[in-house]
Every structure is written in C-alpha cells, then in structure tokens.
Amino acid sequence: MALSYNTINKSFVSAINFMDKREILGKILDVRNEESCFMDVMEMFGTMKPTKAVTFHYHVNDELYALGTVDGAITSSVATNASPLTVTLDSTSMIRVGDIVLLPGTTATVRTAIVKSVVSGTQITIAAVDGANIALADNAQLAFFSGAYGEGSGYPTARRYSATPYSGQLQIFKDAFKITDVQWGSEVEVTFNGKPYVFKKAEYETALKFRADISNALLLSEPTANTFSSGSATLTDASGNTVSTTRGLNSWIETQGGIVDTMGAGIDLADWKRLSVSLDAVRAPKNYLVLAGNSWNHKNDDLFLNLGGTALISTTGAQWNISKDISLDLQSFELYGRKFAKKTMDWFNHPNVVDYTGAPTISDCAFYVPLDKIKTQDGGSEDRMAVRYLVGEDGSNTKYRVKVADGLKQGDNAIEEDSINVRYSATMGLQVLGTQHFVKQKIS
C-alpha cells in the first residue's frame, strides 16, 4: 500500500492483509448433544455379550392354560351328570375329561362345570357342578382351571406343552474418515483435547456418529429376511454381498409379542389403569425403566403434576412418591403396584433423525423395559436385553474395531498414498428376552 494522506480508520486497517487482530474461542461449542442415545442405556446396564454365531435363538414356554371360545349361543339348558350339555368350541386340543370349567358371569359369583367327554376337536359335554341349567353366549370364553377325578380312577390323557422360538441376528456397521498429509500436520484456530489439529476433531466426530448409528439401529431397525448364514440373500450390497440388519427394540416389541398400548391425546389415570391391567395379565414384573420422548413426558407431567391445577403428588407420599436419581438422570414414581424409573431420551426428538415433518412420531412414545432378570425354567436367570457381538476363533471381538492405514509412516506397512485412513467397524445385534413383558406406549 502506497503512502497516502487521511485518517487511520477501520477500512484502512482492514485493507491491509492480516493486520486485524481476531479473538477466537479456541473450542468448538457442542450444542447438538449427539452423545446421548440408546446405547447409553445398554452400556449403563453393562449388557453386552459375545456370540459365535450370526444368529441367536431362544424359546419361551407356552401358557399352561388355554381358553375355549364358544361357537354358537346356548339358551338356558340342562347340564347335569345324567344329561350333560354339548358345547361347541373353537378347539378342544388342550381339554380333557375331568377338567373343571369356570363359567362366564357378569358378577363375582362363581359357577363351575366339569367336562364329561371330549366328543371331537370342537365339541365337549359338560355338567354343572351345582346341577343348575347353563346358558352360554356366542363367543363367550371358558377357562379350564383345574381337574377332578373319581375314586379309584385311572389317569387322564397326557398333555404336551410346546415352546415358542424367537431369534435375532447381527448387523455389520462401518464408518471411516480420511485426512491428507498436509491437513494432518496443519494447525487450526481451535483445539480438541488440547491439540490444535483438525484430525482430532474429525476422529472424534466420526467415532461419535459411528456409535450413534449403532444405537439408532438397536432401537429402530427392522430385521432382514436373510442373515449372514442364509444360502441365498434377499438383500445385498452393490457387490452382491449379503446384507443383514438386526431387530431393534421397537420391532422386538411390535412384532414379537410385546404390549403395544395407545394412550389418549389427553392422558388420564384411566390410561394407566388399562396399562396396569395389561401388565398384570401377562404376570409382568413390578419394576420398569421407561425410556420416554419429550411429547410423552409433557403429557404425563401434566397428569402427574396437574400443571395449572391441583397436583397429584402427595406430600405424605400416600398417592405419589416422585424422586430423582441425578447421577442417572432418572425420575421414579410408583403407581398401581409398580415402580417406574423414567429416563428422558432427548434423542427421540432429534430433528434430523426421528422428529422431522412426516417422521414416525417416536417423540410421542415410551418404551418400558423390565428391570429384573427373566427366569429360566431350571431356576436360573438371564438379562432382559443384551447387545450381542461376534467373537472370532482367536478370541478377538467385533464390538468396536478401529483400523488405521497410515501413509505417513515409513516401512513395509505404509500405504502408497500420503494420507491417513481410519476405519471403524462393528458386528452387533440386539437380543430381547421375554418380549411379552416389554411395552411400547404411544400417544394417539
């Protein structure tokens, strides 16, 4: 710049390259809170288990009792020992002579009958224990809750109890980043863990995204029809390699026998009573972790705290006892004989994953996870949920793997290109045991 006559002002100083002094905060601010995700819950409980197969299976014992549904109404009719009543049902496969029947009723008055004969695969004859007439509505249900046999009699026909199989499968997760030799060595204005290099930031963010991808799949993924062990794959990549996706918690509950409960738009105690009845019906445990989205939280807080009105929290603890464990960010409450520890999942409101216009309304949902271990018939117990990861023959695992191809080093292992390539991979899947006790609750 040549000599000139005038006042030294801002425009004069800024016209000289690099003359202005800048003040730059040497840290990148984190306003996204991407660390918080479903994987936090799994790691909090430490439920990560190895497997040596790409699929994992388990069996659940079937109900010991089965209901019979009446096919065709019966007006008040004689049902005595001498003249038993013929009843048509949907099936008699689990019914045998001598079974005691709990007859339908609209009051707490109990009436019973006994099975006199099994006529066919859909018909039985019964006699009322009190000898009075019996009337049955179409589609009425009969429970066969016990048995009674004559003195000196033989034994009833043997029953066989089956088990229902369930299975899960593994999914391969991958991510990577690459940086050139120049950028690897160049300092930048901001620091990460005290180092002024963009490499550190890229390494952190790629690993964070990789972990979040796994977490998202463990919650929302649907399983492919094929697995890595399938003879012919229904889903492949561009090179024809088999692609397998795991079953996420949402799919485990919705398609594998879990409870799917819908609350009204204005949640009230009737919604909670209905859920309690559903849990009681499957003999569910008494302690739950509730993973909840903000919309679900807002509506239930309106109910629990009756914001703007009279609170439902009792100062004596007689109605509600709401406490908070700050270390785990859990808020607990007791209701209808069960204790619920609620954890707000901010991820359920992620604007670029699940809470954008037209997205499934995950923010309106809550997932109920039993906090006990599930019993096995031999007296043991197993974790309700676990992240399964593949283990190799040599004991190496695929839980989290990082490979670095370094072109900046000398020697036989160096790559030709002057860059660093960092690759992340994992082979994992979600296992859920006893889905009948899990709940997905959504707001209508």
Q: What ranges do the domains of the chain cover?
A: 28-61+162-444, 67-149
Q: 356 falls in which pLDDT band (50, 70, 90)? A: confident
Residue 20 confidence class, pLDDT cut points 50, 70, 90: low
The answer to whether residues 205 and 182 touch, using CB atoms and an 8 Å cutoff, is no
Mean pLDDT of 155-182: 87
> Is the per-residue pLDDT at 4 higher than 80?
no
At 175-211, the pLDDT tens digits run 888 877 666 656 555 555 666 555 567 777 888 888 8
User: Is the pLDDT higher at 78 or at 25?
Assistant: 78
Q: How confident is the model at residue 326 (pLDDT cuts 50, 70, 90)?
A: very low
Taking only the tens place, the pLDDT of each residue in 241-273 is: 999 999 999 999 999 999 999 888 778 888 999
Query: What is the DSSP annotation of 321-374?
Result: --EEETTTTEEEEEETTEEEEEEE-GGGG-TTTTSSTTS--GGGEEEEEESSPE
How many C-alpha atoms does 46 have within 13 Å on its Cβ side? 0
Averaged pLDDT of the chain: 82
Listed residue (443, 442, 290) closest to 370, CA to CA:
290
**Between 403 and 246, where is the model more confident?**
246
- Percent of the chain exceeding pLDDT 70 equals 78
Cβ distance 116 to 101 under 8 Å? Answer: no
Check if the beta carbon of residue 109 is closer than 8 Å to that of residue 98.
no
Closest among 94, 138, 137, 149 to 118, alpha carbons compared? 94
Rounded to whole angstroms, the Cα distance separating 193 from 210 reads 20
What's residue 256's pLDDT?
95
CA distance 141 to 348: 41
Structure tokens at 297: 């939280």
How confident is the model at residue 317, as a pLDDT? 40
- Amino acid sitting at position 186: S
Compute the distance between CA of residue 57 and CA of residue 429 in angstroms, rounded to an integer.
Answer: 12
Higher pLDDT, 293 or 277: 277
pLDDT at 320: 43
What pLDDT is recorded for position 96?
95
Whole-number CA gyration radius for the chain: 32
Q: State residue 169's pLDDT score.
A: 94
Asked if pLDDT for residue 34 goes beyond 70, the answer is: no
Q: CA 236, 239, 243 angle in degrees (round to 5)?
A: 25
The confidence score (pLDDT) of residue 319 equals: 39
From CA 80, how far away is CA 126, in angstroms rounded? Answer: 8
54: nearest Cα among 251, 244, 220: 244
Q: CB atoms < 10 A from the CB of 193, how many?
A: 9
Q: Please state the pTM of the whole predicted model.
A: 0.80
Query: Tell me, what's the pLDDT at 350?
Result: 85
Query: What's the rounded Cα separation, in Å, for the pair 426 and 423?
Result: 10
Average pLDDT of the segment spanning 19-39: 60
Q: How confident is the model at residue 100 (pLDDT cuts 50, 70, 90)?
A: very high
Contact yes or no for 387/170 (Cβ under 8 A) = no
